[in-house]
Homo-oligomer: A and B are copies of this chain.
Amino acid sequence: MRILVVNVNTTKSITDSIGEQAASVASPGTEIVPLTPSFGAESVEGNYESYLAAVAVMEAVRAYPEPFDAVIQAGYGEHGREGLQELLDVPVVDITEAAASTAQFVGRTYSVVTSLDRTVPLIEDRLHAAGLSARCASVRASGLAVLDLERDPQAAVDAIVEQAVTAVREDRAEAICLGCGGMSGLAERVVDRTGVPVIDGVTAAVTIAESLVRLGLKTSKVRTYAPPRPKEMKNWPPA
């Protein structure tokens, strides 16, 4: 099967890193296709950039010329998943929800450790809308920007571990979700230093997307995710 893994940032090196991470858990026979949006912010850290990414991700998927079996939206707390579900019959998996959903199977509660404080509300809102907030102990910010994660992975690990340890002790989290697509690849080191299960959204999403395909499940089309009605679109998509 072929799974599209779409970065929400327009920074190609993040796409590469996400793609490698995704490929590392893919089953034999699964082809991972990493995509970078053709427009938008180099890193998505707030609502304006996130709404733009939502649209850019949808256009990137629409522009992909080959058939595929599932799509992963690789942004943590970002807008847009419902739009993709309208456009497609195949399963769409958001990494925020993939991580939370997976975490709930290995701990009674989970916390998310994300990048900047300003992205905390976005993640909280997405988890709430997805019906996955009841067992969320907290969403905590490491204080590092998305691009900082790439530049200094060791500092990233340290900052994430600090918040993860606090989440376990004070917020009573029993598992940790790495709340940023750019954190893919750091999970193992965080496990070593916290002793609790650590979930990376990208790899979790790959296993979920594969599972949905294996189960023969498609996105429900009876109401929320029904295809857009035929209508006139003004000046869109951009040339």
* Chain A contact residues, CB within 8 Å of chain B: 10, 25, 27, 37-43, 45-52, 54-55, 58, 79-80, 82-83, 85-87, 91, 93, 97, 101-102, 104-108, 117-118, 120-121, 125, 128-135, 145, 168, 172, 174-175, 195-197, 199, 203-204, 207-208, 210-212, 214-215, 217-226, 228-229, 231-236, 238
Nearest to A49 among chain B residues (CB) is B228
**In the assembled complex, which residues on chain B have CB atoms less than 8 Å from the CB atom of A121?**
108, 223-224
Quick one: which of A58, A82, A172, A238 has the most chain B CB within 10 A?
A: A82
Say yes or no: A131 contacts B129, CB within 8 Å.
no
Instruction: Give how many copies assemble into the complex.
Output: 6
Given contacts A48-B83, A58-B48, A58-B51, A215 and B203 within 8 Å (CB-CB): yes
**In the assembled complex, which residues on chain B have CB atoms less than 8 Å from the CB atom of A225?**
47, 107-108, 174
Say yes or no: A41 contacts B214, CB within 8 Å.
no
Say yes or no: A131 contacts B128, CB within 8 Å.
no
Q: Which of B37, B107, B212 contacts A106 (CB 8 A)?
A: B212
Bound CA span A135–B131, Å: 6
Could you give 22 example pairs across A and B, Cβ below 8 Å?
A10-B234, A39-B233, A39-B236, A39-B238, A40-B236, A41-B232, A50-B83, A51-B54, A79-B79, A91-B105, A101-B105, A108-B121, A108-B225, A118-B223, A120-B223, A131-B135, A132-B134, A168-B222, A174-B223, A174-B225, A195-B221, A196-B222
**In the assembled complex, which residues on chain B have CB atoms less than 8 Å from the CB atom of A91?**
105-106
Say yes or no: A86 contacts B229, CB within 8 Å.
no
**In the assembled complex, which residues on chain B have CB atoms less than 8 Å from the CB atom of A215?**
25, 102, 199, 203-204, 207
Say yes or no: B211 contacts A51, CB within 8 Å.
no
**In the assembled complex, which residues on chain B have CB atoms less than 8 Å from the CB atom of A168?**
222
Say yes or no: B106 contacts A228, CB within 8 Å.
no
**In the assembled complex, which residues on chain B have CB atoms less than 8 Å from the CB atom of A48?**
58, 83, 86-87, 228
